[in-house]
């Protein structure tokens, strides 16, 4: 049978062509509508992602200098992922959320890094224990930051230890100025009064318990000494050793040095 004489087939082909033509016209109309001036991007609104906490370190001049707020495309064609990536490359920006606001605006919500300390290589440490690069002078505008150090990858652990010590030492009105984790995982702390706490490793009695015991007993010890101490050795399981200015150093190295005979003069 000749297909050109099949009415059903001809109707199906006609309907299909009509549908394709309608889709083409619809697509053309959508493209035309998307290109209307009303949808051209007019502004980028930048705000803090934290309620009631304005941006402290990021400013619009910095964003313009880094090209993060550069507009490309229109409301429908702008690449939000690429724009988010540009914002997250700006110093002080930890995370950016980018979304469209009808009909011609982009709204960007920024989460800033909140610096809590300086790492040993000069980078800053945020509240999440992450390292980031930014202006240290800007970070210390309200006061010097504590110094943290440790093996690579230990940033979050050292930052947590610093926060724990800060809270534990608060009753003594003392603050940890520097916290160090050695390659052998031994801890040491320098306080804002110059005292050094040797905490050792996290074995036997937990370090937090050793510090709590020292905090409870230290006021009485200081009253008896009537002076600030140079260092406190908290590595002992049943107590701690205190060294004050002018006190005799009874360490094994010091005893060995004192036991050597004096050199004869030539």
Q: Based on the domain organization, do 127 and 98 belong to the same domain?
A: no
Query: CA separation (Å) from 156 to 117, 170, 215, 218, 241?
Result: 11, 21, 25, 29, 29
Whole-prediction pTM: 0.75
How many domains would you assign to the chain?
2
Same domain, yes or no: 55 and 125? no
Same domain, yes or no: 101 and 131: no
- Same domain for 128 and 240, yes or no, is yes
* Same domain membership, residue 137 and residue 240: yes
Residues 6+ positions from 66 with CB-CB distance below 8 Å? 86, 89, 90
Instruction: Tell me which of 79, 112, 145 is where a domain ends.
Output: 112
181 & 76 share domain: no
Q: What is the model's pLDDT at position 36?
A: 45
What residues make up the domain containing 239? 115-257
Alpha helices in the chain (DSSP H): 7-34, 60-66, 80-88, 136-139, 155-169, 207-225, 252-259
Predicted confidence at residue 233, as pLDDT, reads 95
Q: What are the CA-CA distances from residue 21 to residues 24, 25, 27, 88 (Å)? A: 5, 6, 10, 44
Note the pLDDT tens digit of each residue in 47-83.
999 888 899 999 877 776 666 667 777 888 888 999 8
Q: What letter does residue 68 receive in the DSSP assignment?
A: T
The answer for residues whose C-beta is within 8 angstroms of residue 169's C-beta and 6 or more apart is: 175, 176, 191, 211, 215
Q: Which of 73, 125, 53 is nearest to 94 (CA)?
A: 125
Helix (H) or strand (E) holding 105: strand 105-112
Residue 239 belongs to a domain with what CATH number? 3.40.50.11690
Residue whose structure tokens are 């074995």 = 203
Parallel, antiparallel or unpaired: strands 241-243 and 231-233: antiparallel
The reported pLDDT for the residue numbered 253 is 38
Regions of the chain short of the pLDDT cut 70 = 1-7, 9-11, 13-14, 17, 21-22, 24-39, 64-69, 246-266
Looking up tokens 């230890």, which residue turns up?
161
Rg (alpha carbons) of the chain, rounded to whole number:
33
How many Å apart are CA 46 and CA 109, to the nearest integer?
6
Q: Is residue 237 included in any domain, yes or no?
A: yes
Domain identity same for 136 and 219: yes
Kind of pairing between the strands at 147-149 and 115-119:
parallel
**Is position 223 within any domain?**
yes
Q: What is the pLDDT of residues 187-223, one digit of tens each?
A: 999 999 999 999 999 888 899 999 999 999 989 888 8
Predicted confidence at residue 138, as pLDDT, reads: 94
């Amino acid at each position: 049978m000749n297909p050109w004489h099949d009415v059903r087939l001809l109707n199906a082909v006609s309907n299909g062509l009509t549908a394709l033509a309608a889709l083409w016209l619809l697509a053309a109309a959508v493209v035309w509508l998307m290109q209307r001036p009303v949808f051209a991007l007019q502004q980028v609104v930048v705000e803090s992602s934290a309620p009631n906490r304005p941006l402290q370190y990021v400013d619009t001049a910095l964003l313009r200098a880094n090209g993060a707020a550069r507009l490309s495309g229109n409301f429908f064609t702008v690449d939000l992922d690429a724009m988010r990536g540009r914002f997250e490359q700006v110093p002080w920006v930890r995370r950016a959320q980018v979304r469209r606001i009808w009909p011609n605006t982009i709204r960007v919500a920024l989460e800033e890094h909140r610096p809590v300390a300086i790492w040993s290589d000069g980078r800053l440490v945020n509240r999440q224990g992450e390292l980031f690069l930014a202006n240290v002078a800007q970070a210390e505008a309200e006061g010097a930051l504590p110094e943290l150090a440790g093996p690579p990858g230990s940033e979050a652990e050292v930052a947590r230890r610093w926060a724990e010590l800060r809270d534990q030492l608060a009753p003594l009105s003392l603050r940890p100025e520097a916290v160090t984790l050695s390659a052998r995982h031994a801890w040491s702390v320098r306080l804002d009064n110059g005292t050094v706490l040797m905490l050792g490793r996290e074995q036997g009695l937990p370090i937090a318990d050793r510090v709590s015991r020292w905090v409870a007993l230290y006021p009485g010890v200081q009253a008896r000494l009537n002076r600030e101490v140079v260092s406190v050795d908290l590595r002992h399981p049943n107590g701690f050793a205190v060294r004050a200015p002018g006190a005799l150093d009874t360490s094994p190295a010091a005893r060995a040095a004192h036991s050597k005979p004096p050199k004869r003069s030539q």
